[in-house]
Structure 1
Amino acid sequence: MKRLPSLQTIQAFEASIRHGSFTRAAEELHLTHGAISRHVQKLEDWYGKALFERQGPRVRPTVAGEGLRQRLLDPLHGLYQALETPVRPRRDALYLSTLVSIAQTWILPNLDDFKQQCPNIDLTVATDYQVLSIPPASKVVALRFGQFDHRGLFAEKLLDESMVAVASPAWLARHGADPAHWPTEDMVVHTATPWPATLKTETGVTRLPLAQGARFNDAQLCLQAAAHGMGVAWTRSQMARTALERGDLVAIEPLRQQSDRSYWLVCREELIQDPTLVLFRRWIHDVIGGV
Structure 2
Amino acid sequence: MKRLPSLQTLQAFEASVRHGSFTGAADELHLTQGAISRHIQKLENWLGEPLFERLGPRIRATTAAERLKQSLKEPLQGLYQALKSPSQLPSKDSLYLSTLVSIAQTWILPHLSDFKGRFPHIDLTIATDYQLISIPPASKIVALRFGNFDHKGLFCEELLQEEMVAVASASWLERYGQDPVSWPAGELLIHHASPWPTSLKTGSGLLRLPVAKGVRFNDAYLCLQAAQQGLGIAWARYQMARPALDNGDLRLVGSLRQKSNRSYWLACREELQNDLAIGLFRQWLREVMQANTNRINTFS
TM-score (norm 1): 0.69
What is the CA–CA distance in structure 2 between the aligned matches of 1:147 and 1:187, rounded to whole Å?
25
SS in 2 for 1:290: helix
Q: Could you give the per-residue CA deviations for residues 232-274 of structure 1, whole angstroms, max 9, x where no partner exists?
A: 0000011101010011000112110011000001011110111
Answer yes or no: is the 8 Å Cα contact 1:100–1:127 preserved in 2.
Answer: yes
Cα distance in 1, alignment partners of residues 271 and 127 from structure 2: 22
2:280 is paired with a residue of what secondary structure?
helix
- Superposed displacement of residue 89, structure 1: 5.4
1:177 corresponds to: 178
Determine if contact 1:117/1:283 at 8 Å carries over to the other structure: no
Distance 1:152 1:162 in 2: 29
Q: Distance in 2 between matches of 1:147 and 1:135?
A: 21
- Aligned equivalent of 1:245: 246
Given that 1:168 and 1:228 are in contact with CA atoms closer than 8 Å, whether structure 2 keeps it comes out as yes
> 1:144 matched to which residue of 2?
145
Question: What SS is found at the alignment partner of 1:196?
Answer: coil
> Does 1:221 pair with 2:216?
no
Cα deviation, 1:88-124, whole Å, max 9, x if unaligned, reads 9521110000010000011111111010111100000
Residues 131-180 of structure 1, C-alpha deviations (whole Å, 9 max, x = no match): 11101111100111001123221111100011000000110011101000
Match of 1:134 in 2: 135
* Map 1:178-197 → 2, pairs under 5 A: 178-197=179-198
Q: Provide the TM-score with structure 2 as the length reference.
A: 0.67
2:158 corresponds in structure 1 to 157
Alpha-carbon distance in structure 2 between the residues aligned to 1:225 and 1:100: 15
| 1:284 aligns to 2:285 (yes or no) | yes
Instruction: Please tell me whether Structure 1 or Structure 2 has the larger radius of gyration of its CA atoms.
Output: 1
Q: Which residue of 2 aligns with 1:114?
A: 115
1:85 paired residue number: none
Residue 138 of structure 1: SS of its match in structure 2? coil
The amino acid that maps onto 1:103 is A
Residue 233 (structure 1) aligns with: 234
Runs (4 or more) in structure 1 with deviation over 3 Å come to none
State the partner residue of 1:97.
98
Give the letter aligned to residue 137 of structure 1: A
Distance 1:214 1:116 in 2: 40
For 2:96, what is the secondary structure of its paired residue? strand
Q: Match of 2:41?
A: none
The answer to whether structure 1 residue 258 and structure 2 residue 262 are counterparts is: no
Give unpaired runs (5+ residues) of structure 1.
1-87
Q: Which residue of 2 is the match for residue 56 of structure 1?
A: none
Question: Within 2, Cα distance between the matches of 1:138 and 1:192?
Answer: 28
Amino acid at match of 1:109: P
Match of 1:242, as an amino acid? P
Distance in 2 between the 1:89 and 1:283 partners? Answer: 18
RMSD across aligned positions (CA)? 1.2
- The aligned residue for residue 168 of structure 1 is 169
Q: Deviations over 1:194-238 (max 9, x none)?
A: 111111111111110011111110000000000000010000011
Q: How far apart, in 1, do the equivalents of 2:124 and 2:170 lie?
A: 37
Cα distance in 2 for partners of 1:208, 1:89 equals 55
Shift of 1:193: 1.1
Whole-Å Cα distance in 2 between the matches of residues 150 and 213 of structure 1?
Answer: 33
